Amino acid sequence: MESKAFVQELQAHNELLLARLGDLGSLTGEGQSKPDLIQLLKIALANEISVSELAAAWVPSTPEWDVKLTLAQQAGDEARHFKLVETRLHELGISMDDFVVPGVNKLFEYLRSLPSTVEKIAAGQFTLESIAYRVNDRFMSYAEAAGDRQTAQMYRNLIQPDELYHQQLGRQLLEKYATTPDAQRRAREAATKTLEIATELRSKAAAKMGTSCFPGC
């Protein structure tokens, strides 16, 4: 299949699975106490630093210079998002003294194991960033409903444009590199597996926390 048509098909396939992420709201128990924004912003910190590390870890194992530079740029962008959230927490009077860099969970373990460039792009920028964009959108609504317009604006004006850009770069790179049946099969499998693991982890976390509105990266 021609790569542009393939990427379009993969996008449609992802959208179907992404819709399931949107349904997680129904898993959050009625009457269960809702977490405050501070807890959710701490989840954002963990996600941002994990994706920054992932992108950085992929730089040396990616031979194609354009993908290598895109990953390096993304690692920097996610680190900047971490700093933005950290600054916001500081403004809210929250200390970072107890923040610990999270260990590698099932999702990042899978992502780090991906051997080929096309799988990395499909799982990382193309899929993980579209998850981030979608869940951040829900988090902005949650922040606004909780009366924190400043946090919502930080996401809308500074973080979301980057997440969208990362996803668009992923799309362009897939169009360039997912040109053979084997590459397209690998890309599809990596995107599907990423969405499956992310949905599983987020549904467990949503049931535990009483909300599915926590941000991504």
Burial of 109 (0-12, 13-18, 19+ CB in 10 A): exposed
* Chain position carrying tokens 């084997």: 182
Residue placing its CB nearer to Fe ion in the complex, 81 or 186: 81
**Contact residue for Fe ion among 163, 173, 194, 212 (CB under 5 A):** 163
Restricting to residues 47-76, which ones interact with Fe ion according to CB under 5 A? 48
Q: Judged by CB under 5 A, does residue 217 bind Fe ion?
A: yes
Beta-carbon neighbour count of residue 185 at 10 Å? 12
Identify the CA nearest to 51 among candidates 117, 105, 15, 10. 105
- Assess 120 for contact with Fe ion (CB under 5 A): no
Nearer to Fe ion (CB atom), residue 132 or residue 178: 132
Q: Which is nearer to Fe ion, 81 or 120 (CB)?
A: 81
Q: How far is the CB of 56 from Fe ion (least distance, A)?
A: 13
Q: How near is the Cβ of 48 to Fe ion at its closest, in Å? A: 5
Q: Which DSSP letter does residue 124 get? A: I
CA gap 170, 152 in Å, rounded? 25
Binding site for Fe ion (CB under 5 A): 48, 78, 81, 129, 163, 166, 217
